[in-house]
Structure 1
């Protein structure tokens, strides 16, 4: 497996690990029989963790598709790998700013993550113009 493919897995783990600690830390209030109970997520920190988790789910398909498309279409693997690692780092920082209630920085990081994913997606299109 390539580094980029491991980053696809890491992005799944990141959005899962965003919500699990909140549930474990509040185990007495969390009802596993009603995992989507809106009352549990009304607290500020829990609400932000849920938002970060949901955004991770939303960002995942485009990232995974971009990585697979770039690899299948013969884009330079080293660039796919480097951009994928950068995406995971940016997404981890995004989660921290989301949970930490830093909305402006969070928006900047979201935009950066989207641009990185778009760059991976378009690598096959521009590969002939890259100085490699």
Structure 2
């Protein structure tokens, strides 16, 4: 009987899933009032400007990239991709996403776009890693 194990790549999926929540917390940090703003948090977020608005946009983008990343990791596992390269690419993707959020919140659009493109390329690498 084969025992399944939780790989580093799967832990990276969990980190990527948590990233939008961290972005939302960042956008709300210090200004969001649970008693009043939580009645309509989307309206509150829509009214934000500056770094708070960019943190909210980073949250949305973090949700947008999740399906491809999760799918790529699962497909690579199912195709029998070598585990070490898969784990390394998954960690690179998470690191790039952290940098992406930092560039977004820090209002560095060119760096943000380059990091997004690098993350997409890494995701393609994960997707095709098990291809034979």
Fold-level similarity (TM above 0.5): yes
1:23 aligns with 2:21: no
For 1:21-100, what aligned pairs fall within 5 Å after superposition?
A: 21-28=26-33, 31-37=37-43, 40-100=46-106
Partner residue in 2 for 1:113:
119
Which ranges of 4 or more aligned residues in structure 1 deviate by more than 2 Å?
Answer: 27-30, 38-42
**Structure 1: any 5+ residue segments left out of the alignment?**
127-132
Aligned length: 126
Separation in 2, partners of 1:32, 1:25: 14
Q: Point out where structure 2 has 5 or more consecutive residues left out of the alignment.
A: 1-5
The answer on whether the counterparts of 1:48 and 1:99 sit within 8 Å (CA) in structure 2 is yes
Q: Distance in 1 between matches of 2:109 and 2:94?
A: 19
CA RMSD of aligned residues (A): 1.6
SS in 2 for 1:26: coil
Taking structure 2 as the reference length, what is the TM-score of the superposition?
0.89
CA contact (8 A) 2:26 2:55 kept: no
Verify the 8 A CA contact 1:94 1:106 in the aligned structure 2: yes
Give the distance between the partners of 1:90 and 1:40, measured in 2 at CA.
26
Return the offset for 1:120. Answer: 0.3
- When normalised by structure 1's length, the TM-score is 0.89
